Amino acid sequence: MRALVWIIEDTWQATVAQAAEYLPAQAEVTLLHVADTQTEGVARVARHGLLGRDPPDRGREGELRAISEQAAKELLDDARNAFGRPVECEARRGRVEREVVAAAEDMDILILARDGDRAQLGPRSIGPAVRFVVDHAPCRVLLIWPDPAPSLTTIPPPPPGPPRPR
């Protein structure tokens, strides 16, 4: 069994712990982190607005990328240590949701955490990136709650039924 575990900065511990709990010992596990290049792109857009002040040959062009790659490496190292079994690590860069789906190709299962509002059950517990991945994943998906799941009472009462036909 080939398993992909997608970790995000603020929920990686819960994701790794639950993946270690559910995946069988013989599973080939890959931990995945995707750095969002859109944010770096916005910083570049802003620099470009300076019209040649701070030109690219000043060596600051790769500054954000270096910060981002170093942080991804540290995060994956922490996650590998927390997993406690031999695992592969994969660091990707790009549009997060697309990269995760691409990395899930040829996998048997993808494990990921909800990235939205974790106070109540419902669609808002899933943000746009996880929504895209869940909708497009080319394999089975295990979607975890990073915290204990909220209680059933957080579901709003059902809407009134349709009007009775006359």
Partner 1 sequence: MSSGLALALALVVLVLALGVAAALPRYLPAAAVLGALLLVVVGAVDVSRAGDALRALAPTVGFLAALLLIAEGCRRDGLFEAIGAVMARGSRGSPRRLLRLVFAVAVGVTALLGLDATIVLLTPVVFATAVRIRTSSKPHVYACAHLANSASLLLPVSNLTNLLALHASGLSFAHFAALMVLPTIGVVGVEWVVLRRFFATDLRRPRGRGTEQARPAVPRFALVVLALTLVGFALSSLLGIAPVWVAAAGAVVITVPALRPANAVALVRAAEPGFLLFVFGLGVIVAAASDNGLATGVRDVLPAGTSLPDLLAIAALSALLANLVNNLPATLLLIPVALASGPGAVLAVLIGVNVGPNLTYVGSLATLLWRRVLRAQDTEIELGEFIRLGLLTVPAAVVASTALLWLGLQV
Beta-sheet pairing, 2-6 with 28-36: parallel
Residue 125 CB, shortest distance to partner 1, in Å, is 10
Instruction: Work out whether 37 is an interface residue with partner 1 (CB under 8 A).
Output: yes
Residue 59 CB, shortest distance to partner 1, in Å, is 11
* Piece of 53-61, 103-111, 134-142, 157-165 that binds partner 1 (CB under 8 A): 53-61
Residue 44 CB, shortest distance to partner 1, in Å, is 7
- Judged by DSSP in three states, 162 sits in coil
Side-chain half-sphere exposure of 133, counting CA atoms within 13 A: 32
d(CA 72, CA 113): 18
d(CA 31, CA 2): 11
Residues that bind partner 1 (CB under 8 A): 9-11, 13, 36-58, 60, 63-64, 67-68, 71, 75, 95, 115-118, 127-128, 146-147
